[in-house]
Amino acid sequence: MLIKKLNNATLWNKIQKLREIIKSIDNFKQRKCWNCSKELNIYDFLSDNVDLTLEYLIKLWQTDLVEFHCCECFKNLKIKELEKFNMQIDTRTCSFCKKQLNIYEYSKYYNYLKIGELKSIWFDENHKIFCDKICLRKFYNIKGISPTRIKKISKN
């Protein structure tokens, strides 16, 4: 499981650079949600896609071939995908405390996971599922595995 931590200084630097780039673009696009027509903000798009280079982010933003959703509409898309997952496997069991979890609970605990990551974890019966980070730590602590190695091991 990949845990993403956002470095605020890095994000702030990217925002500053993005502002400078936008100033140099003659016809910078104003975007609206493809579904509800709410105005979109490229800085929100950046903060949700920090791994993208600024050049690629602007290329996506400026192209006519790509449409975007606002956060609310995108969240609704995710919920629809989760409903499909839930129809196939409705519950999994926490590997430590044996609590039954549905995909909605699991995705709430691990909300940083993208839908593809959620799908690959949820449908992999060999992947250990934990209801929260406390159970994850306790599980690996009992096995004598240090917290620094948990990230590597929990991928398997």
Classify residue 52 by its DSSP letter: S
Length of the chain: 156
The dihedrals phi and psi of 32, each to the nearest 5 degrees, come to -130, 150
Q: How confident is the model at residue 24 (pLDDT cuts 50, 70, 90)?
A: very high
Question: Tens of pLDDT along 27-73?
Answer: 999 999 999 999 999 998 888 888 899 999 999 999 999 999 998 89
Classify residue 124 by its DSSP letter: -
Res 5: pLDDT: 46
Whether residue 70 contacts residue 103, with contact meaning beta carbons closer than 8 Å, is answered with no
pTM check: above 0.85: no
Res 3: pLDDT: 40
Whether residue 151 contacts residue 128, with contact meaning beta carbons closer than 8 Å, is answered with no
Question: Tens of pLDDT along 83-127?
Answer: 999 999 999 999 999 999 999 999 888 887 888 899 999 999 999
Return the structure tokens found at 42: 């490229």
